[in-house]
């Protein structure tokens, strides 16, 4: 049996000190983010037991991110992504450190949670565009595909491992379940404090690794800067929006993805913590559910890398067919009685989503001019990191009037209807993998 020769691009990445430092920091930071992703909703539910309050907190996280993420993309295009990213790491260290201390001493009020959630959301409006656009400023152009593949895999691995570790740690040190919440103050929640503290520490360490990363000179980075120095930030944002609107296929896909974020991504952010409270493992159950989805997503990405041309006709038709299946799998989630059942459903949903995620990212990168890449990717992230949590806030309000099984059935059923409708009567089904046709 012949041994497969090593990939020269991946071998070059291992020798590149910039990439090693950047990857190490990304792993640490992404794992830390998953600790807060598990701990924050659990903290709010222990403080109030009110899904409307949980939705409000997630809404406050998403509102500044939704409003400022496009501006963040333009700012990053105009200034150094390293400088912007470094600043956000310092800010998040302070915010999460304060949250950890307040939980530990029992001095956290609901209004403090609201204020910290808003501030963290504002910081991420700038950290997300800078973090996703720094690679072209660090790596040679010929190594970008391999570097992006590694970074995307690291992200999904953290989404698998992080929630599992967070759920275990919170359950081990105390998640507030055995204490009491008097006037909104949670006791016996040392695990939550440790989770926030580790996330704060992850920002410190990742800032240190980022300080070792050296950006390429502007002349070595390829085309001229993405936002001219004399162009106002708002004008740069408007230019990106015009590009998106003038591309019919991209416009239709963004509208469709917005519907998916409202119907599935947003409700999941509220429904999963609520569902975990009904299972015997408490915070560990939430970690297992989120970890299963992350593991499934990683598997789907591996399949997509191995079979990039796997399609049901066109890219658009494949995407719509996948969403029909996702909607059907989502509907019985409210009826599960054991953690493994939810993990199996979410793992399958994650596999389908991971497969499409790689295809969609590749399509967007191939269809977008390099000069607009930062702003287009900011608009894409706006859908799932800005719009989805706003939908989650509405979901928290709805759960005061409907049951959890009813929510899952309604959201999954609506997604099936939207996907089938687009499949039968929308140009989305004709979207292909190819780049945008050039104007004559």
In tens, the pLDDT along 236-270 reads 778 878 888 888 888 888 888 888 887 777 777 77
Query: What is the tens place of the pLDDT at every residue in 361-418?
Result: 777 766 777 667 667 777 787 777 767 766 777 777 777 788 888 888 888 898 899 8
Tell which residue, 285, 218, 333, 254, has the closest CA to residue 45. Answer: 285
Classify 314 as helix, strand or coil: strand
Contact, 257 vs 383, CB < 8 A? Answer: yes
Task: Give domain 15-218+231-430's CATH number out of 3.40.50.1220, 3.40.50.300, 1.20.1250.20, 1.25.40.10.
Answer: 1.20.1250.20
Q: Is the dihedral of CA 103, 104, 107, 112 positive or negative?
A: negative
Give the pair of three-digit tokens for residue 92. 């998040």
Q: Give me the pLDDT at residue 4, please.
A: 46
Residue count of the chain = 440
Note the pLDDT tens digit of each residue in 133-192: 777 777 776 676 667 667 777 776 776 677 777 777 777 766 555 444 444 555 556 788
CA-based angle 429:433:437, to the nearest 5? 95
Supply the pTM of this predicted model: 0.66
Average pLDDT along the chain: 78
Q: In the structure encoding, which two tokens stand for residue 104, read together?
A: 């530990």
Kindly state the helix (H) or strand (E) to which residue 350 belongs, with its residue range. helix 339-367
Rounded Cα distance between 47 and 185, Å, is 6
Read off φ and ψ for residue 186, nearest 5 degrees: -95, 135
pLDDT for residue 3: 46
- Candidates 278, 61, 290, 53; CA nearest to 167 is 290
Structure-token match 């691995």, residue found: 157
Q: Which two tokens stand for residue 200?
A: 């704060």
The span from the CA of 62 to the CA of 75, in Å, is 19
In angstroms, how far is CA 23 from the centroid of its own chain?
A: 17
Over its C-alpha atoms, the chain yields an Rg (Å, rounded) of: 21
pLDDT band for position 226 (cuts 50, 70, 90): very low
Residues 6+ positions from 48 with CB-CB distance below 8 Å:
54, 110, 181, 184
CA 345 to chain centre: 20
- 11 burial via Cβ count (<10 Å: 0-12, 13-18, 19+): exposed
Pick from 23-32, 152-161, 173-182, 203-212: least confident: 173-182
> For residue 314, what are the β-bridge partners?
312
pLDDT > 90? residue 94: yes
Q: Do 125 and 67 contact (CB within 8 A), yes or no? A: yes
CA-to-CA distance for 142 and 144, rounded, in angstroms?
A: 6
């Amino acid at each position: 049996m012949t041994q497969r020769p090593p990939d020269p691009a991946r071998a070059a990445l291992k020798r590149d000190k910039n990439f090693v430092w950047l990857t190490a920091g990304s792993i640490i930071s992404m794992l830390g983010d998953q600790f807060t992703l598990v701990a924050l909703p659990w903290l709010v539910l222990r403080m109030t037991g009110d899904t409307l309050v949980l939705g409000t907190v997630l809404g406050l996280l998403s509102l500044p991110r939704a409003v400022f993420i496009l501006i963040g993309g333009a700012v990053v295009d105009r200034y150094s992504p390293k400088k912007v990213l470094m600043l956000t790491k310092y800010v998040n260290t302070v915010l999460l450190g304060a949250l950890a201390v307040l939980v530990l001493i029992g001095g956290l009020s609901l209004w403090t949670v609201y204020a910290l959630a808003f501030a963290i959301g504002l910081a991420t409006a700038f950290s997300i565009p800078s973090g996703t656009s720094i690679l072209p400023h660090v790596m040679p152009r010929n190594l970008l595909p391999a570097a992006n593949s590694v970074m995307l895999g690291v992200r999904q691995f953290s989404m698998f491992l992080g929630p599992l570790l967070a759920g275990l740690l919170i359950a081990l040190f105390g998640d507030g379940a055995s204490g009491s919440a008097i006037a909104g103050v949670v006791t016996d929640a040392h695990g939550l404090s440790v989770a926030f503290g580790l996330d704060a520490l992850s920002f410190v360490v990742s800032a240190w690794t980022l300080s070792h990363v050296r950006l390429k000179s502007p002349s070595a980075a390829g085309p001229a800067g993405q936002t001219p120095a004399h162009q106002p930030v708002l004008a740069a944002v408007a230019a990106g929006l015009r590009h998106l609107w003038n591309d019919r296929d991209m416009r239709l896909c963004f509208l469709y993805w917005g519907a998916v974020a409202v119907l599935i991504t947003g409700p999941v952010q509220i429904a999963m913590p609520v569902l975990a409270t009904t299972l015997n493992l408490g915070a560990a159950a939430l970690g297992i559910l989120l970890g299963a989805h992350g593991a499934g997503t990683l598997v789907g990405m591996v399949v997509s890398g191995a079979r990039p041309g796997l399609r049901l006709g066109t890219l658009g038709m494949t995407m719509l067919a996948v969403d029909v299946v996702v909607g059907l799998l989502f509907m019985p989630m409210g009826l599960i009685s054991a953690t493994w059942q939810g993990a199996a459903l979410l793992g399958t949903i994650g596999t389908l989503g991971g497969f499409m995620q790689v295809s969609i990212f590749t399509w967007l990168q191939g269809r977008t001019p390099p000069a607009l890449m930062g702003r287009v990717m900011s608009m894409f992230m706006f859908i799932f990191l800005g719009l989805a949590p706003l939908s989650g806030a509405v979901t928290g309000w709805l759960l005061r009037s409907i049951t959890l099984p009813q929510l899952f059935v309604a959201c999954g059923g609506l997604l099936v209807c939207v996907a089938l409708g687009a499949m039968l009567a929308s140009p989305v089904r004709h979207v292909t993998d190819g780049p945008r046709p050039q104007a004559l």
